[in-house]
Structure 1
Amino acid sequence: MKTISTLAVAFTYVGTIVGAGFASGQEIKKYFTDYGVYGIASYCIAAVLIFLLGKKIMLMCRKNNINSYDKLISLLSGNIFGKLFDFFITIFLIGTLTTMSAGMGTILNQVFSIPIWFGNLVLMLFSIIIVKKGINEISKINIFIVPILILVTIIISGTSCDGFEVSLVKSASAVKSLFSMILYVAYNIIMSISILPALALSANEKSIKRGTMLAGIIIAFLGLLMSFALLTNYDIIQNVEIPLAVIADKYVGFYIVTFILEVFSTAVSSLYGVYTRVNKKNKMLYIISLCAYCFSLFGFSNLVTYLYGIMGVIGIFMIGILIKGDYR
């Protein structure tokens, strides 16, 4: 297998985390913007933790030749707890795939009046095609997608921050903001282990260390810029499903393309994780994709709120195990 570069590691890691929830502004709003200045401080901590935990996971996988998340969980948790975590993480990845599908349907319906069921289906079919091509193809896609995300986020958020103030959020709480940050990091770590093991075996140690650090910097920059933009426009975005689309204004066309690409990237990562879990059996790939598609009709905003919150709690236990110490 060809060794991938620092940029490939960074952009694939970012592309896995930055999906429909992030690109829509819904994720940043719920977990950080709603807490005002406390949310901004919490997000800085979150970006650092995502870098450190991602690096540790990848180095651990490389050292122990681990290529799928079930083997990583078994190493971390043992057989009994490992099987339990394995089950919940598999469900979460399928749920994330479901959420990405719902996000695609929502944006296409909102902008082009395309039926939600059709938008969901298109994402699922393209995800299956890419997943079957393997980790190198996934990395190539993210090297293309993430720079576009960075550019568009700078343009949209940067031009929406006039008159920035944090007093718009009246009920901000430091304690609640901290807990929200922990949940955010936890479910993103759960999300990332769908792709990090395979990524780790395709990169050398230097690329892993530099790549995860670069990923943390990119995530911090994008999230903070978006937070400032959302806070500035909090009165008009607090009750909408896709906040960033509301403030995109004349750049809405560029935003829609970026949103679709990021949704696709995270959907592919989620499906790839489950695909490796079932030992790359095509029949199971199709069954899982069909189930995810059916549940995606439940609605994007509801899935972001409930699914990610529940899995964030489970992710906290996984982070505790990672922080506990090094494993052989």
Structure 2
Amino acid sequence: MLGGRALEDKTQSVSIRNLIIFAGAYCAFTIGSGYATGQEILQFFCAFGPSGLIGCLVSMILFAFLGGALMQKGYDLKLKYQTQVFRYYCGTYIGIFLEWITVIFLFGVVSIMIAGTGAMTSEYYGLSKEVGSIGMTVLCVISILLGLMRLADIIGSIGPVIIIFSILVGILTMFSASGTWAQNWQILYELRATGSWWFSRYDILDSAWFSGILYASCMIFGGIPFLTGLGSKANSRKEAFWGGFLGGVAIILAAGILVAAMLYFPEEIVALEVPNLFLVQQFAPVLAAVFSIILLLGIYSTAAPMFWVVINKLEQWIPNKAVKISVTLVLGIIAYFGAGLGFGRLIGFLYPLMGQVGVFMILVIIIKVYFMDDKEMTLEREERK
């Protein structure tokens, strides 16, 4: 019994420092060009006007509890290859299928990152979109070929900085704006993420609350392997859970504050691809230059690791370094031309598509973690005793 009690105590130990690190890593992985520029926030939340805040609340609950659950399960499983977690949740065959779906999705997100860079260089720096897109493509390819992923990991710490900066931008924008929210927010409605695919046929799905589910399911689906691996590094189950929980709260808290700030300027942001930079310019134009650099670093720190995951998945069929170079270059070119479809359009197409798969995964995770795992963990602990 003493051994069992010692085990229980160990599984409850929590380090505040580790909580901050895990929550920050969750933020860093989730933040890409869509979030950092504000385009995701605009389409999934702000396009519904004040009701978008309801979507933020729904999304925050899912981000927090599922992020915590996935990291906690990562602590329990400690898998050697994190994409195998799909096999744990869905069985061998569906799991393998979802592994490949995730890789394809991440490759699509790389194109979104490249397109987001192009949008930023165009709207803020006044350069051609191709300049920014080519630059980010080259950086991602070089990172893979020269093994510079450690650099991307270091820059990845910029994620929490973007969260903090976004919260400040939203709050200061609201303080500097005069009056109340604009009443003509309906001009944003055509940008809503649920307006695509088949959601618009049903009022219950073409809504702010379902858009919150769709956003969370898309982002969490793509992050399942990452969060599982992150949780395996925790010192306890409790530490793993709260690291994921706090990270999920921080991500959507910042998004909600930005939604509230954007509702002051619907006419201005409706045609913009980088609404966050517009908000900064409203109260401190000099900070826009600093924020633009932070956003570019944040985009790179997400795009390069995602591109690496794609190449890493293919490496088992790559016979030598020469072929790896060729494959990397070809995929880089494909990602670049994929970005040519347009930043906002890519987000509006790909994220709702993957959100549909993600809704299925959310249901599976909830059942597996919150209705089945308690029994499994009880049996494990009894065996250890």
- Measure, in 1, the Cα distance between the counterparts of 2:304 and 2:234: 20
Alignment of 1:171-320 (within 5 A): 176-205=207-236, 206-249=238-281, 250=285, 251-278=287-314, 283=324, 284-320=327-363
Q: Does 1:77 align with 2:77?
A: no
- AA aligned opposite 2:57: C
Structure 1 position 29, deviation (Å): 1.2
- In structure 1, list runs of 5 or more residues that go unmatched: none
1:14 and 1:218 in contact (8 A); partners too: yes
2:22 and 2:244 in contact (8 A); partners too: yes
Structure 1 position 69, deviation (Å): 4.6
- Measure, in 2, the Cα distance between the counterparts of 1:149 and 1:26: 15
CA offsets, 1:112-143, max 9 Å, x none? 24333332232234335556455x76553332
Structure 1 position 208, deviation (Å): 2.1
Q: Residue 105 of structure 1 corresponds to which residue in structure 2?
A: 118
Q: Residue 156 of structure 2 corresponds to which residue in structure 1?
A: 142
- Measure, in 2, the Cα distance between the counterparts of 1:289 and 1:194: 23
Structure 1 position 151, deviation (Å): 4.0
1:12 and 1:138 in contact (8 A); partners too: no
Structure 1, 221-230 or 172-181: larger mean CA deviation: 172-181
1:168 and 1:231 in contact (8 A); partners too: no
Structure 1 position 207, deviation (Å): 4.0
- Measure, in 2, the Cα distance between the counterparts of 1:47 and 1:133: 33
Q: Find the residue that maps to 2:156 and give its secondary structure.
A: helix
Change (3 A) 1:274 1:7: farther
- AA aligned opposite 2:181: E
Q: Residue 65 of structure 2 corresponds to which residue in structure 1?
A: 52
CA offsets, 1:210-230, max 9 Å, x none? 321221232132112101111
Structure 1, 215-224 or 124-133: larger mean CA deviation: 124-133
- Measure, in 2, the Cα distance between the counterparts of 1:199 and 1:121: 31
Higher Cα Rg, which structure:
2
- Measure, in 1, the Cα distance between the counterparts of 2:230 and 2:141: 19
Residue 51 of structure 2: which of 8, 28, 38 is its match? 38
CA offsets, 1:180-224, max 9 Å, x none? 111100111122125223323333335422321221232132112
Residue 95 of structure 1: which of 92, 108, 115 is its match? 108
Change (3 A) 1:298 1:245: same
Q: CA RMSD in A?
A: 2.8
- In structure 2, list runs of 5 or more residues that go unmatched: 1-14, 193-202, 377-385
Structure 1 position 276, deviation (Å): 4.3
Aligned residues: 324
Residue 65 of structure 1: which of 78, 95, 98 is its match? 78
Change (3 A) 1:67 1:294: farther
- Measure, in 2, the Cα distance between the counterparts of 1:7 and 1:275: 30
Change (3 A) 1:37 1:219: same
- AA aligned opposite 1:165: W
Query: If the length of structure 1 is used for normalisation, what is the TM-score?
Result: 0.87
CA offsets, 1:21-47, max 9 Å, x none? 111111111111111222102202211
- AA aligned opposite 1:240: L
Q: Residue 185 of structure 2 corresponds to which residue in structure 1?
A: 169
Change (3 A) 1:168 1:267: same
1:11 and 1:139 in contact (8 A); partners too: no
Q: Find the residue that maps to 1:203 and give its secondary structure.
A: coil
Change (3 A) 1:166 1:185: farther
- Measure, in 1, the Cα distance between the counterparts of 2:252 and 2:346: 24
Q: Residue 157 of structure 1 corresponds to which residue in structure 2?
A: 170
Alignment of 1:14-33 (within 5 A): 14-33=27-46
Change (3 A) 1:266 1:279: same
Same amino acid, percent of matched pairs:
23
Q: Residue 380 of structure 2 corresponds to which residue in structure 1?
A: none
- AA aligned opposite 1:180: S
Structure 1 position 104, deviation (Å): 0.7
Structure 1, 83-92 or 302-311: larger mean CA deviation: 83-92
2:75 and 2:240 in contact (8 A); partners too: no
CA offsets, 1:242-298, max 9 Å, x none? 222222211321221222122123213422432443358671555433322231222
